[in-house]
Chains A and B, each alone.
Chain A
């Protein structure tokens, strides 16, 4: 069996697309996914959003976001199908499993490094609640910058 990968699919339909057309589209996607032995992990409808630029003379679009697990062949087939469908004005499939695992590794590495440092200093490995609260306010730069800007506005 081929390797299971994780993909993120985003597609955009015109803003006037009726609900049942969206449902039908979702079923089509689901059918293809199941055909290749994959599954839809998450499905979100972002609703109407303004497009950053015109696509097929539309200024707005309905965004639908899916997280899909499946083999590489699924990606190719889904891409081909979505290209054909008229109600989808733009779609994008991105493979995310590798990036997410890299990010997760980095997170774990940092956490263990922090715990090791803290233990070395004779502190508990996890920061306490009081410390966390102090961390929130450590960026003194923002305050300075705001004050400076405020002063300049006052001069004018």
Chain B
């Protein structure tokens, strides 16, 4: 009887532990996961300047494509502004169209 109870108790303990892990997993999933925030909203940048290569560089991966916002976490408004800025910068050869 007492053994059974202990077993159950252990089981319950594990259950609650699993529940905790699940809760943690939502936020971090074991690995360190950055909370998605729009860089332009955080830094309060109203005008995405196409002449500022340093500002645009983080959103242009090696290939030279525009990073999708599902990865960079930029909000829709700023992604639109970023898109035009990158396209302008490309026109005057500040940023490559493609790199290979």
When distances are taken between beta carbons in the complex, the residues of chain B under 8 Å from A53 are 93, 96-97
Secondary structure of the B contact surface, majority rule: loop
Shortest Cβ distance from residue B53 to the other chain A in the assembled complex, whole angstroms: 9
- Closest approach, in angstroms, between the C-beta of B65 and any C-beta of chain A? 14
With A53-B96, A61-B93 as contacts: A94 and B88 at CB distance below 8 Å:
yes
A-B pair number, CB within 8 angstroms: 42
CA distance A104 to B50 in the complex (A): 17
A90-B32 contact given A53-B97, A106-B46, CB 8 Å threshold: no
**Which residues 104-155 of A sit at the B interface, judged by CB distance below 8 A?**
104, 106-107, 110, 141, 144-145, 148
> Which residues of chain A from 56 to 82 have any CB-CB distance to chain B below 8 Å in the complex?
61, 63, 65
Binding site for B on A (CB under 8 A): 10, 12, 51-53, 55, 61, 63, 65, 90, 92, 94, 99-100, 102-104, 106-107, 110, 141, 144-145, 148
Q: Which residues of B contact A (CB under 8 A)?
A: 32, 34-35, 44, 46-47, 50-51, 88, 90-97
What are 23 inter-chain pairs, A to B, with CB distance below 8 A? Answer: A10-B92, A51-B93, A52-B90, A52-B93, A52-B94, A52-B96, A53-B96, A53-B97, A55-B93, A61-B93, A63-B92, A90-B92, A92-B88, A92-B91, A94-B50, A99-B47, A103-B46, A104-B46, A106-B46, A107-B46, A141-B34, A141-B35, A144-B32
